[in-house]
Amino acid sequence: MKKIRYIFALLLATISMTTSAKPTGSYKLVVEGFDWGAGVNKVILSLSDTTSTVNAGEFSVFASRKSTAGPIAEEQSHGKREIVGAYVSDSTGNRVKTGKNITLVLAVGPQLPISSPIQYFRSKGNVWVDYQLTIIHAKSQQVWDSPTGKIMPLVDQFDLTGKYKFNDQLTMSYATYSPTIKKEKAPLLIWLHGGGEGGFDPTIPLLGNKAANYASEAIQSIFEGAYVLSPQCPGAWMHNAQKVSTQGKENDVYNEGLMALIKDYVKSNPHIDPNRIYVGGCSNGGYMALKLILLYPDYFAAGYISALAYRSEYIPDADIQKIKQVPIWFVHSKDDATTIPDLTVVPVYQRLQAAGAENVHFTYYDHVHDITNFYGGKGFQYNGHWSWVYLHENLPRTDLDGSLVKVNGKPVSIMEWLAAQKKGK
């Protein structure tokens, strides 16, 4: 570890000596959400003059990651970034023939922590780190080491300023997206984050597990435009008054305030269709999504839940009867060791089926794989808890018995199914 630190310090010292006569330039990060979390996949360099050519092989990029929230492992705190491409661009990273910016495309992946601007700490969850780059052009010895902000392509389409004060003890941040397709009425997608995305920065839930994807053209087109509401819990949705996870055994301290936030948002946006409000979430958020359905079965048109954390043993039979008419689609992985399926989703689904539920579905994966076969590599396997990888990409299509889920006789994906659900239909 000391050797790595020494080499890195020596490298920076060398850069300083060899470029002392050269003015330093500014750069802008591009941060996107991926299946495993956030990644800095591009850096945009400012030039003093226009150019029409760029050679990726002439550049080197070095990254450092620091945080006041806790220590970062030596091998994850600094290192060289791999450049996979380069092009002439404008100041926001769009390709142009001639311009005063260069965009370098950087390698990202679940096994490249040096590429992430976010770090998970057990005591604080996911937080932004102080992410700094030093970029060197070998031929000219030009250096770029002055950051001027970041671009977050999907996240930047959200309003991140939402704050809702429920009472003196509870204030929640939230992010919202308004559809670009203007209609008299549009559905609302509510997404509730997992346990690692709590706090007061709504970018964390959007990037922590690619929840910003609900604003993507691919998903928005299915709904012909939909509002998206992403509330953020200050702690964890399952916490009781002692900040201990209940898993449903006793009441949590957030559901009442959360429901008040949702109703306030709906009231403030009269173009939301009250008959097409959908609530979903993963893990802790999956618990809360089901909790809200249990408490307000007549409010939601449907639920979409991944890695359910609600223990079946804490749901009375009377509550199962109460929600059997609510359309719900569960997504889970058999090797989930965090929200163990035999204690959560499997018995809940079976009990709903036994109660006569006619529109409840369950896609059950063996494992959670890299769906791209690229970033992690062919056959790469994520943590079995991460079944939301499939959900955010709209991949679930089958029920527990392997049959295709259909609407009006046509096979559908989970988002296509969700878009077809309407209260009273």
Q: What is the pLDDT of residues 222-252, one digit of tens each?
A: 999 999 999 999 999 999 999 999 999 999 9
pLDDT score recorded for residue 123: 82
Q: What is the pLDDT of residues 300-312, one digit of tens each?
A: 999 999 999 999 9
pLDDT-derived band of residue 12, with 50, 70 and 90 as boundaries?
A: low
Q: Is 355 exposed, middle or buried (0-12, 13-18, 19+ CB in 10 A)?
A: middle
Is the pLDDT score of 17 beyond 70? no
Alpha-carbon distance 398 to 369, whole Å?
A: 17
pLDDT score recorded for residue 10: 43
User: 218 with 209: CB under 8 angstroms?
Assistant: no
Each residue of 37-57: b (16+ CB within 10 Å) or e? bbbbbbbbbeeeeeeeebeee
Identity at 273, one-letter amino acid code: D
Alpha-carbon distance 353 to 56, whole Å?
A: 57
Is the pLDDT score of 149 beyond 80? yes
Radius of gyration of the chain (CA): 23
pLDDT score recorded for residue 11: 53
Q: Which residue has the tokens 């989930």?
A: 336
Mean pLDDT (whole number) for 321-330: 98
Task: Give the 3-state DSSP-derived string for 258-283, with helices as H, strands as E and coil as C.
Answer: HHHHHHHHHHHCCCEEEEEEEEEEEC
Mean pLDDT taken over the chain: 94
Alpha-carbon distance 101 to 97, whole Å?
A: 11
pLDDT-derived band of residue 328, with 50, 70 and 90 as boundaries?
A: very high
> What phi and psi values does residue 255 have, to the nearest 5 degrees?
-60, -35
Is the pLDDT score of 27 beyond 80? yes
Domains and CATH numbers, the chain: 2-151 (2.60.40.2180), 155-419 (3.40.50.1820)
pLDDT score recorded for residue 6: 42
Mean pLDDT (whole number) for 156-163: 98
How many helical (H) and strand (E) elements, i.e. helices and strands, does the chain have?
Answer: 10, 22
Is the pLDDT score of 87 beyond 50? yes
pLDDT score recorded for residue 19: 43
Is the pLDDT score of 20 beyond 80? no
pLDDT score recorded for residue 21: 41
Mean pLDDT (whole number) for 115-132: 94
The residues, ordered by sequence, that sit 6+ positions from 187 with a Cβ below 8 Å of its Cβ are 223, 226, 227, 272, 273, 276, 277, 278, 301, 419
pLDDT-derived band of residue 24, with 50, 70 and 90 as boundaries?
A: confident
Q: What is the pLDDT of residues 257-266, one digit of tens each?
A: 999 999 999 9
Q: What is the pLDDT of residues 354-413, one digit of tens each?
A: 999 999 999 999 999 999 999 998 899 999 999 999 999 999 999 999 999 999 999 999
